[in-house]
Amino acid sequence: MSYETIKYEVKEGIGTITINRPDVLNALNMQVLAEMLATIVTAASDAEVKVLVITGAGRSFIAGADIAQMGEFGTQDGLQFGDLGHAMLMALETMDKPVIAAVNGFALGGGTEVSLGCDFIYASTRARFGQPEVSLGIIPGFGGTQRLARTVGMNKARELVYTGAIIDAQEARRIGLVAEVFEPDELMDKVREKANLLMSNGPLAIAAAKRVMNKGVDLPLDSALELEKQAFSALFGTEDQTEGMAAFVAKRKAVFTRK
């Protein structure tokens, strides 16, 4: 498909979505969200894609929402914008493939929220994170009040959301938002290394782990453990489990077929 606001490519099992509006620091508008959603749905159903990476063109990941567009919104427009953002992030969060945010620069407002919808966040030393929406008289609208608290804890999330503070990559790593920080010219190579490591493991197992961890985090422990037990046992009925264990015994590399 042809897109105007993003670039999408698939190479060696890695699908990469690049938000491509560098002149406005990759700000999110309705078109960007719609094109991202369509691409995520495509990647989720494409057997060639094993891992999805999201990054930004130029010096920004996503510097937030397009204020020029949002400034004209009424209540219904805001609801439509929020609905589209939530749909896009839910598609990311529920796809049964791992998703990596390669945060190369500003990840403010919607940028932080998009990164929170991914399984892992790897950041450049130039990256900056924050939820500065209160300075505009609004609150985060794409899950920032919820996913951020679940990632860094309620107290730190309150501080970031209420103050609108912007933090650097090292501070984001310290509070548990970012997994690792790399130099700018190393970021994409390191992300590809991480993607290749993920692709060496059983895809059905990763999908099950993602599903159980995402659903279980909000359940009582006994219910979450039951969810884990059921997913664990179900994997013993797969060809990938047979292959993985046979390869381990034979001391060879497993060849998984997602079956």
The residues carrying an active-site annotation are: 113, 133
In one-letter notation, the amino acid at residue 166 is: I
For CA atoms 64, 66, 71, 75, give the dihedral sign: negative
What is the SS3 assignment for 73? coil
In whole angstroms, give the CA distance from residue 116 to residue 89: 9
CA distance 214 to 230: 15
DSSP 65: B
How many CB atoms are closer than 10 A to CB 175?
A: 17
Distance between CA atoms of residues 113 and 125, nearest Å: 19
**Buried/exposed code over 29-52 (b: 16+ C-beta within 10 A; e: otherwise):** bbebbebbbbbbeebbeeeebbbb
Backbone angles phi, psi at 243, to 5 degrees: -65, -45
H-helix or E-strand spanning residue 8: strand 6-11
